[in-house]
Amino acid sequence: KKHIISLEDFSKEEYDTVLNTAASFRDVLKSRTKKVPALQGQVVANMFFEPSTRTRSSFELAAKRLSADILNFAPSSSSLTKGETILDTAKTYLAMGANIMVIRHSHSGVPLNIAQEMDRLKTGVSIFNAGDGLHQHPSQGLLDLFTLTNLLDPKNPRTDLLKRKKIAIVGDIIHSRVARSNINSLLTAGAHLHLAAPPTLLPNLFADTVKSEHKDRLFIHWHLEPALENADFVMTLRLQKERMADYLLPSLREYHQLFGITRDRLLLCNPDVKVLHPGPVNRGVELSSDLMDDERLSLISDQVTSGVAVRMALLYLIGNLKQETNPQILPTV
């Protein structure tokens, strides 16, 4: 692949390549040096037009661990405030030699739009979608896949490990790009997905967005209990208040009572159940505060740690591909 925009078009083999490469970088990150020269001379532009802690910092750290140079961009202190367009901002970074642009935007489609323009201009630049509106968050989907498979078999994390596992995804699914990416990856891996949310946050129509061969493994629930029964993993999602019209915003107390994940509710699940959340968390809303901090049950810190190795894998796989196909960026010495 030249760009990473969505997981909709990822094959099982491509997921396994990412998992395998991420496992190698997981080991590099545990080594004394923590760094490899794989992307020396390449420039990664981190262009976040919407706030982020995890994704921005882990792409930055991943690029640094691969010895790339990194340009960080903050909209509020950039020339966007003087009226420069997003595309002209991207072209400005292109002129400085950016080879990879990591883009987050509140509008679905912005990373794809920039990728199409970069292709039209034959720049050779790769675009990574770091989360666009309600659409996709592919690197989060991949780091969640790595977190789960790495837990099940750290020696050989692979998609097959999730075959027939029951995974509940609970919460604000309608606004969640993380849910969309995870639905693509987990169904391709062979998991059984049970989505649970109030109907305002989970329209029945949602099932129509998945590939027909996966439909028999996707279940929609407007009550929590059937989704949790015998689940192997429970993925909770943040209530994205910033994307909700007032009439959609549930009372947070009522939401926690009906859909909040607590220790008691986990008794319905498989005894080895683990809980995930992409973060940031509304503490005490999507899951109880004590559960969030319980490292025996919660994989939230593992997800953040996995993010660096997975983003290293993505930058490496795309960056190396570029070196093969785009000789003008090869070192001249």
Q: Does 181 bind ligand CP (CB under 6 A)?
A: no
Cα radius of gyration (the chain): 20
Nearest to 69 by CA among 37, 115, 104: 37
Q: Which stretch binds ligand CP (CB under 6 A): 26-34, 46-54, 119-127, 222-230?
A: 46-54
Closer of 52 and 67 to ligand CP (Cβ): 52
Q: How many CA atoms lie within 13 A of 248 on its CB side?
A: 18
> Alpha-carbon distance 194 to 226, whole Å?
8
Q: Which of residues 132-161 bind ligand CP (CB under 6 A)?
A: 140
Nearest to 60 by CA among 319, 311, 324: 311
Task: In angstroms, give the least distance from the CB of 140 to ligand CP.
Answer: 5
**CA end-to-end span of the chain:** 28
Find out whether 177 is annotated in a ligand binding site: yes
Find out whether 140 is annotated in a ligand binding site: yes
Find out whether 280 is annotated in a ligand binding site: yes
Binding letters toward ligand CP, positions 262-301, x by CB under 6 A: ----------------xxx---------------------
- b/e burial code for range 213-248 (CB count within 10 A of at least 16 → b): ebeebbebbbebeebbeebbbbbbbbbbeeebeeee
Closer of 52 and 78 to ligand CP (Cβ): 52
Nearest to 138 by CA among 292, 295, 318, 285: 318
Closer of 131 and 171 to ligand CP (Cβ): 131
Q: Which of 11, 40, 53, 301 binds ligand CP (CB under 6 A)?
A: 53
> Alpha-carbon distance 117 to 133, whole Å?
19
Residue 295 has what DSSP assignment? T
Q: Which of residues 202-261 bind ligand CP (CB under 6 A)?
A: none
Task: In angstroms, give the least distance from the CB of 91 to ligand CP.
Answer: 25
Q: Which of 131, 138, 260, 319 binds ligand CP (CB under 6 A)?
A: 131
Q: Does 11 bind ligand CP (CB under 6 A)?
A: no
Beta strand 100-105 pairing with 192-196: unpaired
Task: In angstroms, give the least distance from the CB of 142 to ligand CP.
Answer: 12
Q: Which residues make Cβ contacts (< 8 Å) with residue 313, sequence separation at least 6?
A: 18, 21, 22, 24, 25
Q: Which stretch binds ligand CP (CB under 6 A): 53-61, 75-83, 112-120, 220-228?
A: 53-61
Q: Does 55 bind ligand CP (CB under 6 A)?
A: yes
Closer of 16 and 59 to ligand CP (Cβ): 59
Interface size with ligand CP, residues (CB under 6 A): 9
Find out whether 54 is annotated in a ligand binding site: yes
Alpha helices by DSSP H, the chain = 12-30, 54-65, 86-95, 110-120, 138-152, 177-189, 225-228, 252-259, 263-266, 289-292, 300-325
The binding site for ligand CP (CB under 6 A) comprises 52-55, 131, 140, 278-280
Numbered residues of the known binding site: 54-55, 82, 104, 137, 140, 177, 238, 279-280
